[in-house]
Chain A
Amino acid sequence: DTAVSQTPKYLVTQMGNDKSIKCEQNLGHDTMYWYKQDSKKFLKIMFSYNNKELIINETVPNRFSPKSPDKAHLNLHINSLELGDSAVYFCASSRGHGTDTQYFGPGTRLTVL
């Protein structure tokens, strides 16, 4: 039973395309997050959702849009992909926002050609 799952694990696509990454958690948590880790291993939080409401929206291009159909899912849509979007994207969840243990998905490696 995977606690936090992401699909796909790898995503290779052309510049200009639109793509989505899906995330699901079966922990009953109220908060979910999207992180981006670049090639230099820098970690940055992009979004967090608490009970389907956006809490944090760091400085992220509006080409990135999180979609939360329900508390257990937080999908990431990326429009007009650029080379600089190549990174590993991690989904995570926690019981409460920020102060509780976060459980991470396995990551999605996005490569934009």
Chain B
Amino acid sequence: AQKVTQAQTEISVVEKEDVTLDCVYETRDTTYYLFWYKQPPSGELVFLIRRNSFDEQNEISGRYSWNFQKSTSSFNFTITASQVVDSAVYFCALYNFNKFYFGSGTKLNVKP
């Protein structure tokens, strides 16, 4: 069965702290895609990253980085030196067999 688990319901950090959002997925397929999305308090959904199952290279984009590990079926997201603007709900998602599976989201609160 396909499934995405974001065990952290809510995380609170103080500005400038580093924070990692966990994402664990389940799939029986060898070809799949993983995504992260951000939903700030204003409500819009913003695509952050897409990763296919054959590319395990970690990715860094500014203060954001992603650690994809097939051995542990995890696709974790780290924000370095967090800022108040990073406060949002973050969703991890899996795509395979023509279907999407979303995690329940992690709400990140960054306090000044």
Contact = CB atoms under 8 A, between A and B. Distances in A.
Interface of A: 35, 41-45, 55-56, 58, 88, 90, 92, 97-104, 106-107
A107 B44 CA distance: 7
B16 interface: no
Contacts of B39: 41
Given A56-B99, A97-B98, A42 B104 contact: yes
Given A98-B95, A100-B50, A45 B100 contact: yes
B33 interface: yes
Contact of A41 (B33, B89, B93): B89
A106 B44 contact: yes
Contacts of B44: 104, 106-107
Interface in B32-54: 33, 39, 43-47, 50, 52
B102 interface: yes
Interface majority SS on B: helix, strand, loop or mixed?
Answer: strand
Contact of A90 (B33, B45, B95, B104): B45
Contact of A99 (B50, B89, B102, B104): B50
A76 B32 CA distance: 28
Contact of B43 (A42, A55, A88, A102): A88
Most buried by A among B47, B52, B100, B107: B100
A35 to B, nearest CB: 8
A58 B44 CA distance: 22
A62 B47 CA distance: 29
A107 B43 contact: yes
Contact of B46 (A35, A58, A104): A104
A104 B48 CA distance: 12
Contact of A103 (B47, B91, B98): B47
